[in-house]
Amino acid sequence: MFDHVTIRVSHLAASERFYELVLATVGIEDPHRGEPFVEWNDFSISQAREGKPLTHRLHVAFFAPSRAHVDEFWRAGTAAGYRRRRRARAAPAVLARLLRRLPPRP
């Protein structure tokens, strides 16, 4: 049993914007901000730095109360310019982890 999960990210502010946007759609809101992390209940992100390397090859899935919540998670992410990195090979809820930020189009 896990008590909490923290991932280390390359850009804390950008990662916070992403997670704050999409997690709100499944009812996970009001993060706690502390130095050097942002935490939503038992999930947190922290800036990677010397001695605390970037997290790689981690799969995190969030509970969604309904398919409508999953769809809203996806809609919010894609409307903000995020897109999936590759085709989903599992349940629709897995789509949430396949989003990433795209650079603005010229």
Exposed/middle/buried for 105, CB within 10 Å: 0-12, 13-18, 19+? exposed
Domain boundaries, the chain: 5-49+61-101
Tell me which CATH homologous superfamily contains domain 5-49+61-101.
2,3-Dihydroxybiphenyl 1,2-Dioxygenase, domain 1 (3.10.180.10)
49-91 pLDDT, tens digit per residue, is 999 999 998 888 888 888 888 889 888 988 898 876 654 444 5
Give the pTM. 0.75
Residues 30, 73, 44, 100: is their CA dihedral positive or negative? Answer: negative
Distance CA 29, CA 52 (A): 26
